[in-house]
Amino acid sequence: MKNFEKSIAAYKEAVRYMPGGVNSPVRAFSNVEMDPIFIERGKNQYLYDIDGNSYVDYVLSWGPLILGHADDTVISALKETIDRGTSFGAPTLVETKLAQTIQSIVPSMEMMRMVSSGTEATMSAVRLARGYTGRDKIVKFIGNYHGHSDSLIVDAGSGLATLDINTSPGVPKSITYETLTVPYNDVEAIQRLFENFGDEIAGVIVEPIAGNMGLIPGKKEFLQKLRELTTQHGSVLIFDEVMSGFRCDLHGAQGLYGITPDLTTLGKVVGGGLPVGVFGGKREIMKNITPEGSVYHAGTLSGNPLAMTAGITTLTQLKEEDYSNISRKLDYLSEKVQASANRNGIPFTIRHVGSMWGYFFTDGTVENFDDVQATNKDNFYKFFNYAIRNGLYIASSPFETSFLSTKHTDDDIEKTIQVFSDAFKTM
Ligand SMILES: Cc1ncc(COP(=O)(O)O)c(C=O)c1O
Ligand SMILES: NCC(=O)CCC(=O)O
C-alpha cells in the first residue's frame, strides 16, 4: 500500500492559498475521500509523486499528453526554442506552421486562430457564431462540457457534474437564457427545438464524442441531424473537439464520422502539453474575426512560440502514428476487464474510441447524462480508491474520460487488467 504522507502535508499548505488547494477543481479528488496527490515528475506513461510512488498514468494531464510525459522529441524542440525567447507579442513563423499542420490533418479548418485554452476557443467560437449570424441563442447538450465561459456552463458535465451543480453563481440569468439545452443523442428533442426556435439559433455546439460525462460517443444519426438542421436554419455547427481532436482518430470525430462542421474548436493534444486552444473553420465565417472583420478576439500569449512548438512537434509525430496500435491495446483491455466484471457479477460497461476510454458501473445502456446519473457511483469511487493505491492514476470521477498514450505497453495493460480484476473481487 502506498504512503501519501508528503502529499497530505503539501495539500494542507496549498489549501491556505488556493481555493480547494488547486487551480482547477477536477484535481481536488472531490468525492473520492482522499487528498490529491502532488506530482513530482512524469516520463512517458508514468507519473511519480512527491512521496516516491509511481503510477501508470491514464489521465495524461486530462488528455493532452498523447505521446506521454516529457516526450524526448517535444522536449528537445522546446529546449531549442526557449533559448530564443519565450514570447514576442508579434508574428512568428511557428504560428503559420502549426496552422498549416492542423489544416493538413483537419481540412475543414480553412482559417483558424490560436488561443491559450479550450475555454477560450469555445468562448470565441460562440461569439463568432453569434456575430456571424446576428442571432443570440446557442444550443448545447446536457452533460457536454465546453470550458467555463458564461454561456457554456449550463447543464454542463465534468467538474460541474462531479460537484453536482449545473451552472454557477455569477453567471447572469440574461446570458444563460440564451443557452438552450437538450439531451445528448436525442434526435427528436433537437428536431423539436429547431421547430420552435430554429431561426433564432446562432449555433449548436457539441462534443461529437462526449468525454465529460464519462465517455459517450455521439450516434451518427444524431450528429447527421445536427448537420442537417443547422444547414437548413442557417445556424453555425460547432464541433468541440478539444478532447476528441487527434485522440479518437488522427482526424478527430469529424474524420471518424465523415461529418463536416462549420467551426471546430481544439485544445489539449494540439498544444502537446502546453497551453493552446484553437478555433477555426470556414473562411467565410472566420474572416469576420478582427482585424479582418469586427468580431473581437485577442490574446497577449495567443500563438506563444513555446506552445506552438510543442503542438507542431506533437502533431508531426502523430501523423506517422498507427492509431490502430492504440485501439488494439484498448480492445484487449476492454475485453479482459469486461469478462472479469462479468465473472465477479459486477454490473459494468467499458468502452473506447481511439485513445479515449471509459467505464460505467452499470449493465444498462449509457447514451446521455441521465443514463450516467443512474450508474453506480459508489462502485466507481470504490474502484478509484483501490486503483490509485495500486498504481493506476485514473480519472477520479464518473463524469470524466481516461486516455491512453502511444507509450503505454502491453505490460502496462496486463497490470491494469489485474488491478481491475483484484478490485472487482473486493466489491
Ligand atoms: C470538450 C471540451 N471543451 C472544452 C474544454 C475546456 O478546455 P480548457 O480546460 O483547456 O479550458 C474541455 C476540457 O476541459 C473539454 O473537454
Ligand atoms: N474533462 C474535463 C477536463 O479535462 C477539464 C480539466 C480541468 O478543468 O482541469
- What does the domain layout of the chain look like in residue ranges? 5-70+322-426, 72-318
For the chain, 427 residues long, the average pLDDT of each consecutive 10-residue run is: 92 97 92 92 98 98 98 98 97 98 98 98 98 98 97 93 88 95 98 96 98 98 98 98 97 98 98 98 98 97 98 98 95 98 98 97 96 96 95 95 98 98 96
Nearest of 38, 79, 14, 25 to residue 396 by alpha carbon: 25
Tell the residue nearest (CA) to atom 2 of ligand 2. 158
How close is the Cα of 239 to the center of ligand 1, in Å? 12
Specify the pLDDT at position 372: 97
Specify the pLDDT at position 1: 67
Nearest of 347, 345, 418, 343 to residue 377 by alpha carbon: 347
Domain 72-318, CATH 3.40.50.1370 — does that match? no
- List residues near ligand 2 (CB under 6 A): 24, 26, 62-63, 145, 158-159, 212, 400
- Tracing cell 427545438 back to the chain, one arrives at 193
The domain covering 5-70+322-426 belongs, at the CATH homologous superfamily level, to Aspartate Aminotransferase, domain 1 (3.90.1150.10)
How close is the Cα of 233 to the center of ligand 2, in Å? 32
Tell the residue nearest (CA) to atom 4 of ligand 1. 146
Q: Give the angle subtended at the CA of 389 by the CAs of 383 and 393, to the nearest 5°.
A: 75
Specify the pLDDT at position 167: 83
- Kindly state the cell numbers that stand for 160: 460541474
Nearest ligand, measured from the Cα of 26:
2
318-341 burial, b at 16+ Cβ within 10 Å, e below that, comes to beeeebeebbebbeebbebbbebb
* ipTM of the complex in this document: 0.99
Q: Which atom of ligand 1 is nearest to the CA of 268?
A: 10
Active site residues: 145, 240, 268
How close is the Cα of 212 to the center of ligand 1, in Å? 9
Tell the residue nearest (CA) to atom 6 of ligand 2. 62
Overall pTM surpassing 0.90 (yes/no): yes
- Distance of CA 369 to CAs 159, 183, 186, Å? 14, 7, 11
Polymer length of the chain: 427
How close is the Cα of 87 to the center of ligand 1, in Å? 24
Pairing of strands 209-210, 216-217: antiparallel
Q: 1: which residues sit within 8 A by CB, 6+ positions away?
A: 389
Specify the pLDDT at position 272: 97
CB atoms within 10 A of CB 234: 13
Tell the residue nearest (CA) to atom 9 of ligand 2. 24
